[in-house]
Amino acid sequence: MTELAVTDPLPKPKRDIAPILLPVALALVTIPLIGSPSTWLTLTAASLAMGMMIFIMASGLTLVFGLMDVLNFGHGAFIAVGAYIATLVFAPFAASVQADSLWVNLAVLAPAALLSMAVSGALGLVVERVLILPVYGQHLKQILMTTGGLIVAEQTLYALWGPQIIPMPLPASLRGSFILGDVAIAKYRVLATLIGLAVFVAIQLVLNRTKLGLLIRAGVENREMVEALGYRIRRLFLGVFMTGSALAGLGGVMWALYREQVHASMSDELTVLIFVVVIIGGLGSIGGCFIGAILVAMVANYGGFLVPKLALVSNILLMVAILMWRPRGLYAVTSR
Amino acid sequence: MMILSGDPPRSRALTLVLVVIILALAATPFLFPGAKALNVAAKICVFAALVASYDLLLGYTGSVSFAHTMFYGIGSYAIAIALYGMGPNWAAVATGIVVGLPLAALLALAIGLFSLRVAAIFFAMITLAVASAFQVLASQLSWLTGGEDGRSFQLPELLRPGTVLVSKSLFGFEINGRILTFYLVFAVSALMILALLRVVNSPFGRVLQAIRENRFRAEALGFRTVFHLTYANCLAALVAAGAGVLNALWLRYAGPDTSLSFSIMLDILLMVVIGGMGTIYGAIIGATIFILAQNYLQSLMGVASKAASEAGLPLLPGLLHPDRWLLWLGLLFIASVYFFPTGVVGRLRNGGGDKSADASH
């Protein structure tokens, strides 16, 4: 034990950097396997973009669990709702979407994304009040209630929009790729990566630099203590839940544009992916969720290129491997 | 009492409902003519057993699994692939059972050992991920499973509809291979449900309930909770695979939509919750209500939807469209989790005339 003088700063907690190195190592290891550096760069860019989109969708889920011990199986519904709402904006402005000007395109895209976020966030409010509030602290009922919510939301989407797949064309100026030498990187992927990074940085800033973030982090660590200090953690939680839902909506719009189509079943498909990410990252950890999303996307992209058959179960293999290494995910935040 | 393992329905109303359902199912080939009624009855039998096995997990151990259709699908596909590959004979049926059931139990063991050690919530998420991977795998390995088309196959001679066992002139009914298959499904399902009833009323079942109520305390009392949970998971998987075998035999087909899809998983959840968790009897009632609704509510909704669209109402035609029946059952599901978590069985037990059930309140 070293003696601390009164004037010394408190010792900093040790940084756990092994998980951060994991995606880097994975990327480096695959260079010789893939062979061609240009293919590798394209795949890496694709993984980053896909990872960012998954991160945006998963971040809300992991925070909601960390803060309030609520596992929302209906999280996927917010994704689908966000995507459908965006089609509402896209349809009447189809001409502007196809105009060959970045600014005109963005003038449609930005309001569409904002509206999607607003509607998903509002839906989050309703879901939290109606479905989750009555069953706080009861895991089994939470899972059942939110699964029921997922069914109802999906069926309502079918009822309102019909069961067919709705095409969602990418705006004209976001199509195509940047060509650097012999490397082609799709423009939309660059945009998706930038948005994802912005969301990550914003979340980190709020969590680490504001009082609100301090309360959220404290709540994740020990809810009762925060309550005992007189903060209304329920209200804090509602805010986090709505933000998470809104982010899921944003992710839904981005994913729909990435796939260029919208369908209510996208919520099922993405729910699984998000769960894998959240488990890998460690329930409640934003940093873990970020790394987990990139890892999942990397395994999907590299795996799909190297051994296409394996890509089908690559997520599960990744999850098993990570849980063997760290049974509670990359970063175990909560004590639960 | 012996046959019910000392766990009777404990309510006059519930007993009556169960007796009516079982008698109606048993007499379906004679009471309700037509292929549709027989199909519905067989489906109720298969799902009653499947849902009962899920109840062992959800109702008695309190762990939510999303991989139950995977085991169901393993049973279905094992029979389908065996009969498709080896031709319509009894050796193929035996092979399917001998391969399928242990495979399901082994997979359940692996998942259980891997994920039941950690928090219950992990189990739900991991089973969901594994099940979805299995579903993709089944549709991609098309040389084995027939991909999205699935596998159709011929049944052994004795079970074919063309085989007339007792001709119409004798009793006024023709008893053919189809009806024999129905009774096979009925009998095996009933046996599996009775076996589950035995399991949940054994000392082992009591430990499972103790784990559900307070896992920490059960562990402190010296029970190896992981062992018990994994064992229950394997038993449930075995019965689910058995139900899958029956399903494939009845449909003469196994495919992703009928035996693997995620929507079947949701159906099972709906049935077990509406019927009543932790009762086993709830499985029979839940399956009956759900499958009757699935088959007959839809036509009712079609009429209502048409009427609404003729009246020129907005939105309603879409909401009442026959394909949207799951929407209404979803709402019923949420309402039943919220308002009567014990389901129909719990309601009947508390509302019916039996005093001993009231005492526990």
Question: What pLDDT does residue B120 have?
Answer: 66
Mean pLDDT of all residues in B107-112: 91
Nearest-CA distance B269 → chain A (Å):
8
Segment (H or E) for A67: helix A37-68
What span, in angstroms and rounded, lies between the C-alpha atoms of A188 and A198? 15
Q: Specify the higher pLDDT residue, B169 or B9.
A: B9
Nearest-CA distance B252 → chain A (Å):
28
Question: What pLDDT does residue B357 have?
Answer: 38
| pLDDT tens track for B266-284 | 889 889 988 988 999 999 9
Question: What pLDDT does residue A49 have?
Answer: 93
User: Which residues make Cβ contacts (< 8 Å) with residue B338, sequence separation at least 6?
Assistant: A134, A135, A145
**CB–CB contact A71 B121 (8 Å):** yes
Q: What is the 3-state secondary structure (H, E, C) of chain B?
A: CHHHCCCCCCCHHHHHHHHHHHHHHHHHHHHCCCHHHHHHHHHHHHHHHHHHHHHHHHCCCCCCCCCHHHHHHHHHHHHHHHHHHHCCCHHHHHHHHHHHHHHHHHHHHHHHHHHCCCCHHHHHHHHHHHHHHHHHHHHHCHHHHCHHHCEECCCCHHHCCCCEEECHHHHCCCEEHHHHHHHHHHHHHHHHHHHHHHHHCCHHHHHHHHHHHCHHHHHHCCCCHHHHHHHHHHHHHHHHHHHHHHHHHHHCEECHHHHCCHHHHHHHHHHHHHHCCCCCHHHHHHHHHHHHHHHHHHHHHHHHHHHHHHCCCCCHHHHCCHHHHHHHHHHHHHHHHHHCCCHHHHHHHHHCCCHHHHHCC
Q: Specify the higher pLDDT residue, B361 or B139.
A: B139
Q: Which chain A residue shows the shortest CA-CA distance from B114?
A: A320
Q: Which chain A residue shows the shortest CA-CA distance from B133?
A: A313
| pLDDT tens track for A12-63 | 777 788 888 888 888 888 888 888 888 888 889 999 999 999 999 999 898 8
Question: What pLDDT does residue B354 have?
Answer: 43
| pLDDT tens track for A114-126 | 999 999 999 999 9
Q: Which chain B residue shows the shortest CA-CA distance from A143?
A: B64
What span, in angstroms and rounded, lies between the C-alpha atoms of B56 and B205? 9
Q: Is the pLDDT of residue B50 over 80?
A: yes
Q: Which residues of A fall within a CB distance of 8 Å from B341? A: 141
Question: What pLDDT does residue B119 have?
Answer: 66
**CB–CB contact A275 B129 (8 Å):** yes
| pLDDT tens track for B210-219 | 999 988 899 9
Mean pLDDT of all residues in A200-209: 92
**CB–CB contact A315 B321 (8 Å):** no
Quote the percentage of chain A above a pLDDT of 70.
Answer: 97
Q: Is the pLDDT of residue B91 over 70?
A: yes
Nearest-CA distance A61 → chain B (Å):
13
Residue B19 one-letter amino acid: V
What span, in angstroms and rounded, lies between the C-alpha atoms of A10 and B103? 56
CA distances from B267 to A152, B48, B294 (A): 13, 12, 10
Q: Is the pLDDT of residue B295 over 70?
A: yes
CA atoms within 13 A of residue A86's CA, in its CB half-sphere: 37
Domains detected in chain B: 2-353 (1.10.3470)
Of A134, A283, A319, which is closest to B338 when you measure between CB atoms? A134
Whether A257 contacts A265, CB under 8 Å:
no
Q: Which residues of A fall within a CB distance of 8 Å from B119? A: 336
Q: Is the pLDDT of residue B111 over 80?
A: yes
Question: What pLDDT does residue A236 have?
Answer: 87
pLDDT band of residue B351 (cuts 50, 70, 90) is low
The two structure tokens encoding residue B332: 């019923």
| pLDDT tens track for A241-270 | 999 999 999 999 999 999 888 988 888 778
Whether A105 contacts A174, CB under 8 Å:
yes
pLDDT band of residue A139 (cuts 50, 70, 90) is confident
Q: Does B294 touch chain A (CB under 8 A)?
A: no
Question: What pLDDT does residue A3 have?
Answer: 65
Question: What pLDDT does residue A243 have?
Answer: 93
Q: Using CB atoms within 10 Å of the CB of residue B205, give its burial: 0 to 12 exposed, 13 to 18 middle, 19+ buried.
A: buried
Q: Does B118 touch chain A (CB under 8 A)?
A: yes
**CB–CB contact A152 B323 (8 Å):** no
Of A139, A159, A315, which is closest to B318 when you measure between CB atoms? A159
Cα–Cα nearest to B190, from B55, B25, B348: B25
